[in-house]
Structure 1
Amino acid sequence: MAAQDPDVHITYDDQQKINKFARCNARHGDIKEELKLKENDLQNLQDAEDDIISALDGEEKVPFMIGEVFMMKTQDEAQEAIGAQREALQEEISTLNTRASELQDTMTQLKADLYGKFGNNINLEPEED
């Protein structure tokens, strides 16, 4: 079997598959990091909304950050703005999850192809930190 041959030759197509796997793997890692940040932002929005509900009466104004500026908003306005931000974040998270899944499927197929040809002569597993 050629997969066990230490002198396995890499064709141009094989190299393209290896390169594609590397690009997909790098992008997948980037997406996972971005997902962590977005999920943290989503949790922060939930915490802010909980704090607004529990700490204030309905007429008291609260500082609300828009970009780099704080604006005073009523509790209802702040909750609406937080709700809109939450929805946008959830859409972004959904899109990122879809993209991560697509990349994972591509990498799984490339792994199968490459391990099928090269066996133990290639390592496509992520390094442990």
Structure 2
Amino acid sequence: MTAPKILLVEDSEFMSMRVVDALESNHEMELTAVKTASEARTCLETNSFDVIVVNYELPDETGIEFAGSLNKSGTEPSVPIILLTGKKLEPLASDAVDNGVTEFVYKGDHAAADMDVLANRIETVIAAYGTTAA
């Protein structure tokens, strides 16, 4: 089985390194990390991914706005989007789902358990949506 290809959109260098290290080392996933929504759009023009993991707070827009821009039609996204946030999920959930976010992961203290939860959510959405990356 080919390693799932994940696009990580995370502006925090610490968090980005933590996610990449944990998912590549412990869960055999292939990650591409960018810091902004704009960089992610550029990356998506020439690359295919199985899942996009996006932080809620980005320098140029929110993760929800980014998801909405990829999913303007209001239908299910062609690539599942997981929102990674340190904020309370309840106030964000409805708007996030309306904009095409598939799943949510709370990033707490960056413990190994948080990375296991993220890996599980990635595997779950790939099982539901299938793999599309070539």
TM-score by shorter chain over 0.5: no
Choose between structure 1 and 2: higher helix proportion. Answer: 1
TM-score, normalising length from structure 2? Answer: 0.23
Greater relative contact order (Cα < 8 A, sep 6+): 1
Choose between structure 1 and 2: higher strand proportion. Answer: 2
TM-score, normalising length from structure 1? Answer: 0.24
